[in-house]
Amino acid sequence: MDGSTRRRLLPAAIALTAIGLFSSLPSYGIAGCIARAAASASPAPVESESPTYSMGNEIDTIDRGVTAYYFFRGNYNGSAKAKYELRYDRNLWNPCAQLQVRLPVITRYPVAGNPFSGFGNAELRYSYNVTAPSFDHSLELAAAFPTQTNGVESIDTQLKAFYITKWKWNGGSIAYVNEYAQSVIRPPGARYSSYYEGKLTLPNYAFVDSLALKGLRISALYDFRVLFNDGGIVQPAIGGIINGNINDVALNVIDTWGVGEHGLWKYKVEATAVGRF
């Protein structure tokens, strides 16, 4: 087996091993689907731009939901990217199973020249969320389609898998998001992607408790990505999350900064608002 064959097989082997481990995890306490009247104010870590704030991250159960998401990311080479995204999700055959559609608009800020915008790559996501008093977990599958216009994103088709865990105690929690993404259809000239991303957040500490804000919480975030398509380079970032509720709308603000020689990005600011109905 030559080196190029090993590099192609490694990501698939890791994904299959991870799925096997996840399926053997024990359940904690009395797990089930728990309907809630309002949006959750304490999601698990956010997914990268890939997910930086996924449906599965909330580990919540709702009938329907609409999410407005925005990020601005500055890169080390002086370029930048902004995303405006509308997400719609709803339950399927039971409150645990959810389907979500993501519709993005992208603006690119090149190093030289004028900014340009276009529709991004639409995503379809399925998640299954199980909650318990001390432990929540969620499995999520996604497909990103090459619907972009004006050259704002790659024209490859990607499949993504997430496994999200959250350990809870009185006054806090620790959450971890596993993500694996892989290009499955790549036309000539399209960018090839194959990576694993992990996100750790803690302690989700409530420092404000009022009727208006419904428990404003703060967490530290460590995010890293392993690029299988680029020799296994590790790209880390660190930051913080503030989230809370205003009436029945969940708000989430994230600020992260790349660290080290191969930082994930120079800086990235994200904001999310989730409404339930």
Tell me the mean pLDDT in the region 246-254: 87
Tell me the mean pLDDT in the region 95-99: 92
Cα separation, 121 vs 114, in Å, equals 22
Backbone angles phi, psi at 91, to 5 degrees: -70, 160
Tokens 């959450």 belong to residue: 175
What pLDDT sits at residue 141?
Answer: 98
pLDDT greater than 90 at residue 245: no
Mean pLDDT across the chain:
82
Q: Using one digit for the tens of pLDDT, what is the confidence trace for 192-231? A: 999 999 999 999 988 776 666 567 889 999 999 999 999 9
- Cα angle, residue 193 at apex, residues 187 and 195 outer, rounded to 5°: 160
Structure tokens at 154: 């790659």
Domain ranges (residues) in the chain: 3-276
State the pTM of this model.
0.78
Cα separation, 17 vs 222, in Å, equals 23
Structure tokens at 66: 């609409």
Cα separation, 165 vs 131, in Å, equals 10
Burial class (CB in 10 A: 0-12, 13-18, 19+), 157: middle
194-208 and 267-276 as β-strands: parallel, antiparallel, unpaired? unpaired
Nearest to 84 by CA among 97, 74, 95, 73: 73
Fold of the CATH domain 3-276: Porin (2.40.160)
Q: What's the pLDDT band for 16 if we cut at 50, 70, 90? A: very low
pLDDT greater than 60 at residue 61: no
* Cα→Cα distances 223→8, 61, 128, 198, 259, Å: 24, 26, 23, 6, 10
What pLDDT sits at residue 127?
Answer: 96
Q: Using one digit for the tens of pLDDT, what is the confidence trace for 145-191? A: 999 999 999 999 999 999 999 999 988 999 999 999 999 999 998 99
Tell me the mean pLDDT in the region 254-270: 97
What pLDDT sits at residue 201?
Answer: 96
